[in-house]
Amino acid sequence: MSVSPDARWRLGPDLEFELDHCRVMGILNVTSDSFSDGGLYEDVDRAIGRSVAMVDEGASMIDVGGESTRPGAAPVTVEQQLSRVIPVIKGIRRLFDVPISIDTTSAHVAQQALDAGADAINDVSAGMDDPGMFALAAERGCGLVLMHRLCRPAEDSWSDAHESEPEYGDLVGDVHGWLLERARLAEESGVQPASIVIDPGLGFGKNVEQNARLIAAVGSFVQSGYPVLCAASRKSFIGAVTGQSDPEERMVGSVAIAIWEAARGVRLFRVHDVSAHVGALAAYDRGHGLARSLGTTLRALSPELVQADTMSALKSNS
């Protein structure tokens, strides 16, 4: 699926992401209980060091979060989130101009993060948890990621551990329609359409088979006109398919999904394993670019090729 060469994600009045190629958002969880890297980067210096490594590996953005959204995670206070994320964001901003997103459902946390140097809000509740989020995003003109979820993390289960199938009427249609409605409400609050990214919410209130169906249908989300974020990295539904219970062993499956979605027009990828994704997606971009150039060349040559084939046929019949 082709993507417009003019596709962009607006992160501020003077900052845009060009989406003519794949972009990787490196995950930096400064939490104690995230599902894959909880506890690794609670120390500020270590977290900043991880951001340096991800930028060196080719990350185009750093996504900083101070509250785990894994299934069963208990919410943390605004004060806890701020004490975790603000020193890290300030530290990253002192070192780099790399765009930063704040992973939070709290408008107050988002505001403080933007003041500290963040450029976008990654809200897994799509503005449902805090009615002030859309007004804040509109006022600041920052980027805004809207993700679908069926329930709050504390009420959710791992994708391979649902006792009964999460209920949807039409899974793809329901998720797609819900995201478009949230985007519409954000725009009514003053958020620019070019600032909005949508995320189908893989792993959030979906079982293994439902996640697979959303991945297969990602092209329909791309066709909405909003950039789409792929956030499959290391999630439990990958382990359910590959048999890998340790999230750190799910890199290959994560990359495979990223390439599948890239081929269907997705250009933003939130990942743990930055180097592997950057390398694989860069190879995809190069191959896709070559194929597109070859197609253009063949179309340009087609009249000459048709004429040559016709002349050859006439000669063979004479």
Residues acting as catalytic residues: 235, 270
CA separation for the pair 71, 241 (Å, rounded): 19
Angle, alpha carbons 306-312-315 (nearest 5°): 140
CA separation for the pair 8, 195 (Å, rounded): 9
CA separation for the pair 82, 61 (Å, rounded): 20
CA separation for the pair 73, 32 (Å, rounded): 11
CA separation for the pair 119, 163 (Å, rounded): 39
Contact 233, 273 (CB under 8 A): yes
CA separation for the pair 257, 255 (Å, rounded): 5
Tallying the residues shown for the chain, one arrives at 318
* Start-to-end Cα distance in the chain: 44
User: Residue 256: helix, strand or coil by DSSP?
Assistant: helix
Sign of torsion over alpha carbons 153, 155, 158, 159: negative
Q: Kind and range of the H or E element at 23? A: strand 23-29
Sign of torsion over alpha carbons 298, 300, 302, 308: negative
Q: Kind and range of the H or E element at 262? A: helix 251-262
Instruction: For the chain, give the longest Cα–Cα distance.
Output: 88
